[in-house]
């Protein structure tokens, strides 16, 4: 069995978020992170959630991951309510969250460790396959502290892809990288997404990044977090973040966002 | 090679200075033995097996107590880090008792266990345990919560997360706790052996004590040297591999 062949019969991975609210108790009182948010994500779709900080987009992502539970409403994957984390929905964070006590290969293999029915040999081969996919086959034995920020996120991407999840959840994964590295990763991510037919929910506060990557851009407003508007991005792929078309879309979305921030508090 | 050479030169100079100080005849030979007499004594006890036997007795006591301290200390440290009630109780106790010089356990151990191996073991465990608990607790509380979240999304839960994520993530703290625990255990065992005669085994501390009783200064100095050597050896054998691993993986130190 080659590592890629197991994707032949994908289960439906559509995400259904229905009337979800979430509030926390903090030292400064009750915070309403999300208020009655509904969102559908189709199989294989690339959706970007955009909004200023405090709009609850990361909270929503954590709920899809199963790391947090909604206060009200339901979050379902493939028709099943989400009760906890699953290898079907892998997550990437702003920090790579790679384990420093393992090398690059060990980190990718960790995500396969708890996957049943694999021999160690198969785990190693699968991990190697994904390290190659992100262009790091030469660094399989590298220590994490020896990798650059961009390489760390590539390893984290390989680690997230290795258990062959149907959904990839990305929480500002490129925000801490320099512009050049980021642009390379935009290209890689679009290529891998097209190859793997994986559903991606991508959180960012960078509107241009969202337009460059997403089929759809969902705009959030803060306090409490609500969905304001959705934009479908009908541009050919692969897209270049510096292209005029991407800039045009981004300008329109940014203008809408600013309107909400300046006048929209009462809407 | 260059480092080895400079170390060798340094210690050769040290011995030479000692030799000249002795040869100058300022102090009585009873108080300052010559390096030659110390070497002669070491050679003798090495040949008749005394040194080896005593070292084995001491190391057995130390290792047994140390391993018990570690096996109890690491899980207890985990628990104090994760359970609030334990942090407020056992954690405070550990903090308090860690500050108690471990020699202070010797009188208590004697009354409780008499002149037995049990007393020795008790003193060594008390020296090790509290440092290991505290270091593990600090280590676990410093684990990046993101590691645990990432591990959870990868299907790791409960005990698996503790053993394969929290434990290695807190390793830098645990290793320094292990070193501190070792140092405390070593000191307290020497104190116990010097104060307490135990018929079931004659350790290095006893040898040192009898050197004083016999006014055999070369014996006292020779045994002190042995104690230093064993300390250095333990550092190389027990902790160097861990520290090298930490430096390689975490990229700390050099």
How far is residue A57's CA from residue B117's CA, in Å, rounded to a whole number? 63
Tell me if B30 is assigned to some domain. Answer: no
Domains identified in chain A, total number: 2
Residues A70 and A107 in one domain: no
Residues A83 and A183 in one domain: yes
How far is residue A167's CA from residue B171's CA, in Å, rounded to a whole number? 33
Tell me if B208 is assigned to some domain. Answer: yes
Query: What's the distance, CA A207 to chain centroid?
Result: 15
Cβ pair A159:B154 closer than 8 A: yes
Tell me if A1 is assigned to some domain. Answer: no
| Nearest CA-CA partner of B134 in B101, B94, B170 | B94
- Contact present, B192 and B107 (Cβ < 8 Å): no
Residue positions counted in chain B = 254
Residues A192 and A254 in one domain: yes
Domains identified in chain B, total number: 1
Tell me if B61 is assigned to some domain. Answer: yes
Residues A145 and A201 in one domain: no
CATH number of domain containing B164: 1.10.3720.10
The residues that bridge with A46 in the sheet, in sequence order, are A200
- How far is the CA of B145 from the CAs of A16, A152, B139, B148, B150, in angstroms? 28, 18, 12, 5, 9
Of A67, A99, A145, the CB nearest to B251: A145
Tell me if A5 is assigned to some domain. Answer: no
How far is residue B228's CA from residue B124's CA, in Å, rounded to a whole number? 18
| Structural domain that includes position B173 | 36-250
The 10s digit of each residue's pLDDT in A167-177 is: 999 999 888 88
Task: Looking at the complex, report in whole angstroms how far the Cα of residue B130 sits from the nearest Cα belonging to chain A.
Answer: 26
Tell me if B24 is assigned to some domain. Answer: no
Of A91, A114, A143, the CB nearest to B249: A143
Cβ pair B153:A90 closer than 8 A: yes
| Nearest CA-CA partner of A44 in A75, A78, A4 | A78
Token duo for residue B204: 């290095």
A-B contacts (CB, under 8 Å): 70
Tell me if B217 is assigned to some domain. Answer: yes
Tell me if A37 is assigned to some domain. Answer: yes
The 10s digit of each residue's pLDDT in A6-65 is: 444 444 548 888 888 888 888 888 888 888 888 888 888 999 999 887 788 888 898 999
A95 neighbourhood in chain B, CB within 8 Å:
146
The residues that bridge with A20 in the sheet, in sequence order, are A37
| Chain A residue at shortest CA distance from B156 | A114
DSSP B92-129: HHHHHHHHS-GGGHHHHHHHHH-SSHHHHHHHHHHHHH
Task: Looking at the complex, report in whole angstroms how far the Cα of residue B154 sits from the nearest Cα belonging to chain A.
Answer: 5
Q: What is the pLDDT of residue A265?
A: 52
Of A90, A93, A143, the CB nearest to B251: A143
Tell me if B88 is assigned to some domain. Answer: yes
The domain boundary, picked from A115, A134, A164, lies at A164
- Contact present, A176 and A209 (Cβ < 8 Å): no
Tell me if B3 is assigned to some domain. Answer: no
* ipTM field: 0.83
| Structural domain that includes position A157 | 99-164
The 10s digit of each residue's pLDDT in A92-101 is: 988 889 999 9
Tell me if A263 is assigned to some domain. Answer: yes
Cβ-based interface (< 8 Å): residues of B facing A: 144, 146-147, 149-156, 160, 164-165, 168-169, 171, 248-251
Residues A179 and A81 in one domain: yes
Radius of gyration of chain A (CA): 19
Instruction: Using the predicted structure, report yes or no on whether residue B35 has a pLDDT greater than 50.
Output: yes
| Nearest CA-CA partner of B154 in A241, A113, A154, A70 | A113
Task: Looking at the complex, report in whole angstroms how far the Cα of residue B68 sits from the nearest Cα belonging to chain A.
Answer: 26
The region, left, alpha or beta by phi > 0 then psi within -120 to 50, assigned to residue A134 is: alpha
Residues A149 and A195 in one domain: no
Tell me if A7 is assigned to some domain. Answer: no
CATH number of domain containing A59: 3.40.50.300
- Contact present, B71 and B131 (Cβ < 8 Å): no
Residues A50 and A20 in one domain: yes
The 10s digit of each residue's pLDDT in A112-153 is: 887 778 888 888 888 999 898 888 889 989 899 888 888 898
How far is residue A54's CA from residue A24's CA, in Å, rounded to a whole number? 12
Tell me if B229 is assigned to some domain. Answer: yes
């Amino acid at each position: 069995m080659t590592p890629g062949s197991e994707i032949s019969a994908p289960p439906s991975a559509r995400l259904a978020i229905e009337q979800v609210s979430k509030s926390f108790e903090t030292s400064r009182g009750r915070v309403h992170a999300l208020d009655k948010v509904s969102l559908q994500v189709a199989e294989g779709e690339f959706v970007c959630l955009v909004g200023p900080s405090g709009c609850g987009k990361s909270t929503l992502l954590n709920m899809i991951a199963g790391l947090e539970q909604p206060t009200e409403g339901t979050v379902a994957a493939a028709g099943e309510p989400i009760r906890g984390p699953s290898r079907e929905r892998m997550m990437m964070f702003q920090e790579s969250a790679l384990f420093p006590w393992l090398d690059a290969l060990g980190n990718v293999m960790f995500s396969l460790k708890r996957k049943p029915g694999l021999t160690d040999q198969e785990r190693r081969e699968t991990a190697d396959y994904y390290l190659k996919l992100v262009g790091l086959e030469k660094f399989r034995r590298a220590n994490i502290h020896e990798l650059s920020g961009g390489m760390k996120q590539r390893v984290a991407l390989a680690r997230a892809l290795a258990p062959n999840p149907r959904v990839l959840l990305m929480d500002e994964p490129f925000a801490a990288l320099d512009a050049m590295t980021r642009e390379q990763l935009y290209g890689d991510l679009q290529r891998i997404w097209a190859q793997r037919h994986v559903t991606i929910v991508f959180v960012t506060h960078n509107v241009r990044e969202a337009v460059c990557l997403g089929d759809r851009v969902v705009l959030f407003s803060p306090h409490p977090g609500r969905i304001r508007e959705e934009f479908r991005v009908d541009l050919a792929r692969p897209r270049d973040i510096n292209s005029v078309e991407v800039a045009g879309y981004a300008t329109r979305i940014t203008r809408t966002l600013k309107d909400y921030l300046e006048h929209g508090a009462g809407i | 090679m260059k480092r080895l050479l400079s170390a060798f030169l340094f210690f050769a100079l040290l011995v030479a200075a000692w030799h000249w100080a002795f040869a100058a005849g300022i102090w009585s030979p009873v108080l300052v033995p010559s390096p030659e007499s110390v070497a002669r004594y070491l050679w003798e006890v090495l040949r008749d097996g005394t040194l080896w036997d005593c070292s084995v007795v001491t190391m057995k006591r130390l290792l047994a107590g140390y391993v018990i301290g570690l096996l109890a200390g690491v899980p207890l440290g985990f628990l104090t880090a994760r359970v609030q009630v334990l942090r407020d109780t056992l954690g405070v106790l550990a903090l308090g008792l860690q500050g108690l010089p471990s020699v202070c356990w010797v009188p208590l151990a004697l009354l409780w266990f008499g002149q037995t191996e049990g007393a020795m073991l008790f003193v060594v465990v008390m020296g090790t345990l509290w440092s290991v608990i505290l270091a593990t607790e600090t280590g676990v509380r410093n684990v990046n919560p993101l590691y645990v979240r990432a591990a959870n999304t990868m299907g790791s839960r409960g005990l698996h997360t503790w053993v394969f994520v929290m434990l290695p993530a807190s390793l830098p703290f645990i290793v320094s706790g292990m070193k501190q625990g070792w140092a405390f255990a070593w000191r307290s065992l020497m104190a116990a052996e010097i104060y307490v005669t135990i018929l079931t085994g004659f350790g290095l501390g006893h040898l040192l004590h009898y050197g004083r009783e016999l006014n055999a200064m070369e014996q006292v100095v020779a045994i002190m040297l042995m104690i230093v050597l064993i300390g250095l050896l333990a550092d190389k054998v027990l902790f160097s591999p861990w520290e090298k691993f930490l430096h390689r993986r975490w990229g700390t130190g050099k």
